[in-house]
Amino acid sequence: MSEAEKTSFRWRKILLCPATWLAFFWCVLALLGFVPLLPTSGEGALDREGFLVFAGFIFLLLSLGFALVSLLSRKVRGRKKAGKTLLYLFLAFLWLSLEVFLIGRANECVERIACGSNLKSIYLSMEQYAADYDGFFPPELKTLHDSGYLSDDRVYRCTSRTRPNAEFSDYLYFGRGRKLKEPPFLLMRDRDGNHPGVYRNNLYSNGQVLPEP
């Protein structure tokens, strides 16, 4: 066998090895997973994260399966067998790490949607308040709670927040002295620490909830 044929044989062996493809797809999913969440907190973002989690779980099972096959194989023995088994176990560990990361990302996507729903619920209560008070927004969020327009304490809290907040609400409010019929302005937004990174939900006086950035 010539040197060129030996090189070609080695490359075919590498390309046909399951470990090569497991490592390749790990890189692809890792790249997709580290891309920032979609700017909108809609169902599309949730579907994307869910797909990545499912794909990662399948490849995790494949890595463990190949490790078991290598361990039980009688064709390969000694150091080569141990090396192949350890390689697949290492790939399984990488896939497990990626799964933990992707599940966290998927959970955060759900939390963003829930946070946006909280803001919309608060806005509907503000509309009712404004209808009863000459179009004015309440002086503070606690006014909505104490006057019975929205008494559910959970709506004023961001479910994604991990650090305690001594304030009444996890949302900043800018509607004091302002009217519902004014040109759209920033009415509420997430406090720092509600979501990982720099993501914020912004509620405007026309009822729109937009992400920042």
Over residues 21-69, the pLDDT tens digits come to 888 888 888 887 766 554 444 445 556 777 788 888 888 888 988 888 8
The answer to whether residues 19 and 37 belong to one domain is: yes
Round to whole Å and give the CA distance between 73 and 66: 10
Last residue of a domain, one of 77, 110, 143: 110
| 198 in Cβ contact with 154 (< 8 Å) | no
Tokens standing for 132? Answer: 């009863």
Last residue of a domain, one of 64, 82, 110: 110
Contacts (Cβ under 8 Å, ≥6 apart) of 36: 197
Given this model, what pLDDT does residue 36 score?
Answer: 54
The answer to whether residues 73 and 151 belong to one domain is: no
The answer to whether residues 101 and 137 belong to one domain is: no
Give the chain's domain count.
2
The answer to whether residues 149 and 178 belong to one domain is: yes
The answer to whether residues 49 and 79 belong to one domain is: yes
The answer to whether residues 31 and 67 belong to one domain is: yes
The answer to whether residues 96 and 134 belong to one domain is: no
Last residue of a domain, one of 110, 142, 161: 110
- The pTM of the full predicted model, rounded to 2 decimals, is 0.65
Q: Is 195 exposed, middle or buried (0-12, 13-18, 19+ CB in 10 A)?
A: buried
Nearest Cα residue to 137 out of 170, 99, 186: 186
The answer to whether residues 91 and 164 belong to one domain is: no
- Which domain, by its residues, includes 66? 3-110
Round to whole Å and give the CA distance between 200 and 46: 17
Q: What is the mean pLDDT of the chain?
A: 84
The answer to whether residues 105 and 188 belong to one domain is: no
* Regions of the chain where pLDDT drops below 70: 1-6, 8-9, 11, 34-47, 76, 213
The answer to whether residues 82 and 131 belong to one domain is: no
The answer to whether residues 84 and 177 belong to one domain is: no
The answer to whether residues 81 and 138 belong to one domain is: no
